Amino acid sequence: MNYTQLLQQAQQTISSRSSGDEFELKDLFDVATWHSMSDDQQREFGRIFADEVRQGRIKGVEYVKTRSDHHNVYRKL
């Protein structure tokens, strides 16, 4: 799984969203792309994305909360 390409795709999708929009990571991908990853790959990519946001490498996005189903929610600034 090429997480670098997935991060680039996520950033492109984020740039087309409106300021204030809240989203989960899976919302940034079409269903086929997201489901092509195993559960373990989805979790690993989720951790990578969360770290990128925390480190400020995903520009214009902030962490909002973790829901009860353990999915992180982000907001476009």
- pLDDT by 10s per residue, the chain, length 77: 799 999 999 999 999 999 999 999 999 999 999 999 999 999 999 999 999 999 999 999 999 999 999 999 999 99
User: Which domains does the chain carry?
Assistant: 3-76 (1.10.10)
What does the pLDDT read at residue 42?
A: 96
- Please calculate the CA angle 64-15-24 and round it to the nearest 5 degrees: 35
- Per the CB < 8 A criterion, the answer to whether 52 and 7 are in contact is yes
Please name every residue paired with 74 in a beta bridge, in sequence order, or none if there are none.
Answer: 23, 63
The helix (run of H) or strand (run of E) holding residue 63 is strand 61-66
What does the pLDDT read at residue 73?
A: 98
Q: What is the gyration radius of the CA atoms in the chain, in angstroms?
A: 12
What does the pLDDT read at residue 11?
A: 96
What does the pLDDT read at residue 40?
A: 96
DSSP annotation of 52: H
What does the pLDDT read at residue 22?
A: 98
